[in-house]
A and B are shown apart, each in its own frame.
Chain A
Amino acid sequence: MGELAVEKHAQYILSVEKRKDDFESLVMEHLRLNGAYWGLTTLDIMHKLGSVNSDEVVTWILSCQDKESGGFGGNVGHDPHVLYTLSAVQVLALLDRLDAVDVDKVSDYVAGLQKEDGSFAGDIWGEIDTRFSYVAICCLSLLHRLNKINVEKAVDYIVSCKNLDGGFGSIPGGESHAGQIFCCVGALAITGSLHHVDRDLLGWWLCERQCKDGGLNGRPEKLTDVCYSWWVLSSLIMIDRVHWIDKNKLSKFILNCQDIEKGGISDRPDNAVDVFHTYFGVAGLSLMEYPGLKPIDPAYALPADVVNRIFFQK
């Protein structure tokens, strides 16, 4: 089992950045901006962000921006969507280059996606999902522009997606799912609204995600997966119930999902690795205070020192 192979993972991430032409990379091309966030945040948590050329990254990110709407697409030429807009803002925050964008233009794009009932669409085509509520709130908060939306209604909509098991779904009536729960709890945390969460009820539902193999699943009777080390764990941390799982067993599970030869972390032991699971595995370990890693903030999903800088430095 052993330790976290930091060097290998750093090399893996840098290699993914260069690899663009094989089938797997092509299939993910439309979410490369998300990939940049996952990769760079992982590097920062492992104290390896220095090996990246910030200027190049910033230039490329800006090239993903749709000049008309102000939103960002997943890659150059792809349509703007709030998911990639958040990743863009998060990476710029990470590199301390939020000055590179017109903050008001970006925030107007995001704020313009809020609907009458407080919900958020992902883009002009109108798909509604609490994921987008989180993404919008997190993005606007990092830009200090939360006042551009109706926060009370946004909170009301999220609360309307609360289920009887204490969890949250993607839309009212939607089944509780750890990913949606992270989004709703995160949005409520950022807006100072965690009193809407029944922390004991949800905390127990979340801690029951830990299975016999030590890993976490996303909802009852499903398979464990490293990405839930983030969705479930960060939710538990935000509601102060993380002590209800066995952190040692979870750490072992994550470390078992590493490819220590080629670098990277996979969803389950001996499966193919990718940047997505590499980020969630490392971020999960960071949340459990694994030695040598920077602490990550559970709501903003950025290193805590980045968040402190944004909110306490004038």
Chain B
Amino acid sequence: MHGRPRKATKQEDPAAAAAKSARLRELQSQLLHFHHNRIYTKEAVSVSSKLLEINPEIYTGWNYRKLAFQHNLKEVSDTDTDTDTETIKSAIEDELRMVEVALRRNPKSYGAWYHRKWILGQKLVLANFDHEFRLLDMLLKADARNFHGWNYRRFIARLKDVSEEEELKFTMDMINTNFSNYSAWHNRSMLLSKLLRKKAKGFHEEESILSDEFELVRQALFTDPSDQSGWFYHLWLLDQTSTPHKPHLVSSWPSDKLNIEISAQFKEKCERFPIIFCFNQQVDGVNLATVTINSKLVSSEHITWKPLSANNSRKSKIWVGFLENFNKYCDNSEGLSVEISVHCCESIVHSEFVMKLSHMDHQGKNGDGFEELFLWDCPKSQEINPYLVSYDPWRLRVERVEEDAKWHLDTLSAEIALFKEMSECDEDSKFVKLTLTRLLGAHNSIKSGGSAYFEEILKLYDDLIKLDAPHYRYYRDERSLVLLDQMTSSKDSLVEYCSRCENSSFSCINPQLCINFSGLNLTRIGFVERLLWVQILDLSHNNLTSLLGLEALQLLVCLNLSHNQIMSFTALEPIKSLQSLKVLDLSFNEIGSHPVDTTRYLCSSPLSHSCNVTETMEELARENIKIGDFWEAILLFESLQLAQLDMQGNPVTNERFRVLVEKVIPCLKWLDGKPVR
């Protein structure tokens, strides 16, 4: 099926071709006959040998041989016990020889490899390990990337109880023979991780081991920079160097020592107040037992914690706790003071905040607050506000105990210097530039404050887009993240993007600040842990296809996604959990123009067994609506309580669709700028 030329290089004699086919057909039907009639004579088995020699892919042939082997062995043990071992050995030899014949024909035959494993796995006799390793050496010499061989080598090593250290030496031999051996590097990384994790003898000094590996891979990269294996291995080493082993808290809402002013309406309308914790890695175990509350009026039982993750995963980077009936506590003049301690991941984090009723109230508007259309025209505001005053994304990082950071920073700095040199010598190497962006990024993530390498990284991505055009969208995504990092890195940079919303009449926490990230060519969202306090967010006029990260913004009331490149309703999965969301602008996206859905399995649906057909869907099905055509929209909108929605400018929007939307969102007041009947 692979690698055969379209025009045959030499014409085969038709008579010979017919004879070959006839022979194969003959052997195959004989095999099936013997197999179905359980005939395991020497002659019958030799037919299978001839067949498997020509075509080792006939799996039924290997099955037949296993049955023959078992049958003939049983016959032996039923008779003479003295010649037992010799007969068994000879039978095994026959099978092993058959496998070697087959492997000569096709060194990648699944059936052949498994047959060998099956025979030796029976452990009827001690395997001839020398022979096995010699066979492997021969095959891996012919093709160092034969993963069947590597898998089989692992099997034999386990059978012989070879130590991981010895196998590590083997990978070194393979790498020394030829640096271009991804399979060997892969094996090396797996063995090293295991040994480091077990803290095996000679492997507890992680830093010195990693330094040695950096030295090794540097040789590979200098010897053959065009081979990819070294670059992937380097990426793994970098990850080991820059990712902390233990998870820790990155940010929280409310942030520590914050005074929150809530409007009378918020107090009245909202029954639960979200408390959010963001970690740098996925964690589990945030619950009543691990969270302690210190407050006059609130106790642990008043808060239920859940991970914000798709598909019912127990682990998440973001955890949210809802303080139920909090409005009861806000009536006193002192306000509600709460101190929360989370005992998680071998550390304790605190957050202390005070909630007070606002004196600056809006003109007593009754009702739900969306009697008027919400308009996205918030003027820029340089006004100092409580959130920005206390805004310090680096604070938690500094507070974190950085015992091992010195070695990590030194190693990164050394690598950065080396790669900068390489970049000057070889202007056209994409891997050098890409690795440099990652090194600089890793350095940014460890070293707090100071002049981070933003401008350098952004310039590198611009270079990469020119150097490696087919992957330009990858570089744009990475670039968006760096840009967001830069924009949110300090209160001075963030204040440029703040504006104040004057025309809102809905219940909210004061003051009503809008973050305006429109028109920035953003393709994806990141650093949401710095934006947990945002209630109004304008992301319009960007190039967003993914909304991952928005699920953390639990306070969001108004979201503008107009003029982006959102391709389906399933891409909106992250906003399903935003219970406070009232205003959503999805106008001028690409929903309905893509037959292939790239976020279909990143949302909850019956296709991925993460939710069942809902009641709403069943109701609509009864009204003769083809739910198969609209399930994405139905599952999204039925979980939101929107008051205002804009959908125009998407191919999916037509009269039929509008009718469906009005059915699925009963509390909707405004659709595409017009009041809903």
Contacts and interface: CB of A to CB of B under 8 A. Distances in A.
Contacts of B629: 308
A181 B471 CA distance: 20
A194 interface: yes
Chain B at the A interface: mostly helix, strand, loop or mixed? Answer: helix
Contacts of A242: 598
Interface in B590-631: 594-602, 604, 606-610, 613, 617, 621, 627-629, 631
A221 interface: yes
A273 interface: yes
Contact of B232 (A220, A270, A296, A298): A220
Contact of A146 (B20, B310, B315, B609): B609
B311 A195 contact: yes
B180 A221 contact: yes
Interface stretch (B51-59, B454-462, B644-652): B51-59
A205 B36 contact: no
B165 interface: no
Interface residues of B, number: 85
Contacts of B236: 164-165
B60 interface: yes
B610 to A, nearest CB: 4
Contacts of A314: 621
Contacts of A27: 24, 55, 57
B60 A79 contact: yes
Interface string B405-438: 0000000000000000000000000000000000
B170 interface: no
A189 B118 CA distance: 32
Interface stretch (A7-15, A18-26, A91-99): A18-26
Interface stretch (B145-153, B268-276, B500-508): B145-153
Contacts of A194: 310-311, 601-602, 608
Interface stretch (A50-58, A111-119, A169-177): A169-177
Contacts of A170: 147, 151
A289 B470 contact: no
Contact of A189 (B55, B58, B595, B601): B601
A240 interface: yes
Contact of B6 (A192, A273, A300): A273
Given A23-B24, A26-B24, A174-B147, A308 B628 contact: yes
Nearest to A177: B147
A304 B568 CA distance: 15
Contact of B57 (A30, A163, A204, A297): A30
Contacts of A240: 545-546, 571, 598-599, 602
Contacts of A190: 601, 607-609
Contacts, number: 217
Given A22-B21, A195-B309, A309-B628, A267 B3 contact: yes
B4 A271 contact: yes
Most buried by B among A164, A174, A203, A239: A164
B607 A127 contact: no
Contacts of B601: 189-190, 194, 238, 298-299
B473 A244 contact: yes
Contacts of A127: 110, 114, 117-118
B6 A220 contact: no
A107 to B, nearest CB: 15
A203 B145 CA distance: 22
A287 B193 CA distance: 37
B20 A277 contact: no
Nearest to B609: A192
Nearest to A267: B2
Interface string A185-197: 0000111111100
A274 B20 CA distance: 20
B17 interface: yes
A125 B24 contact: no
A225 interface: yes
Nearest to A126: B118
Interface in A283-314: 286-289, 294-300, 304, 307-309, 311-314
Contacts of A313: 628
Interface stretch (B182-190, B246-254, B337-345): B182-190
Interface in A220-250: 220-222, 225, 237-240, 242-246, 249
B1 interface: yes
Given A127-B110, A192-B312, A221 B25 contact: no
B595 A304 contact: yes
A246 B118 contact: no
Q: Interface range on chain A: under 10, 10 to 19, 20 to 34, or 35 or more?
A: 35 or more
A186 B448 CA distance: 40
Given A73-B60, A244-B471, A173 B6 contact: no
Contact of B59 (A81, A238, A244): A81
Interface in B455-508: 469-471, 473-474, 477
Contacts of B628: 308-309, 311-313
Nearest to A165: B232
A175 B606 contact: no
B294 interface: no
B28 interface: yes
Nearest to A193: B311
Most buried by A among B20, B594, B628: B628
A293 B186 CA distance: 39
Contact of A246 (B187, B471, B546): B471
B5 A270 contact: yes
Contacts of B451: none
Contact of A299 (B60, B313, B315, B607): B607
Contacts of A164: 186, 189-190, 193, 236
Contacts of B110: 127, 129
B32 interface: yes
A111 B63 CA distance: 21
Contacts of B193: 164
Interface of B: 1-7, 17, 20-21, 24-25, 28, 32, 35-36, 55, 57-60, 62-63, 66, 110, 114, 117-118, 145, 147, 150-151, 154, 180, 182-183, 186-187, 189-190, 193, 227-229, 232, 235-236, 282, 309-313, 315, 469-471, 473-474, 477, 545-546, 571, 594-602, 604, 606-610, 613, 617, 621, 627-629, 631
14 contacts: A26-B25, A27-B57, A74-B59, A125-B63, A174-B150, A175-B150, A219-B182, A243-B598, A245-B470, A270-B7, A272-B4, A286-B596, A294-B595, A298-B601
Interface of A: 21-23, 26-31, 73-74, 77-79, 81, 123, 125-127, 129, 141, 146, 151, 163-165, 169-171, 173-177, 189-195, 203-205, 207-208, 210, 214, 219-222, 225, 237-240, 242-246, 249, 259, 266-268, 270-274, 276-277, 286-289, 294-300, 304, 307-309, 311-314
Given A146-B609, A221-B182, A304-B595, 7 more contacts: A165-B236, A173-B151, A191-B609, A222-B145, A271-B6, A312-B627, A312-B631
The 4 tightest CB contacts between A and B, nearest first, are A192-B610, A246-B470, A189-B601, A295-B595
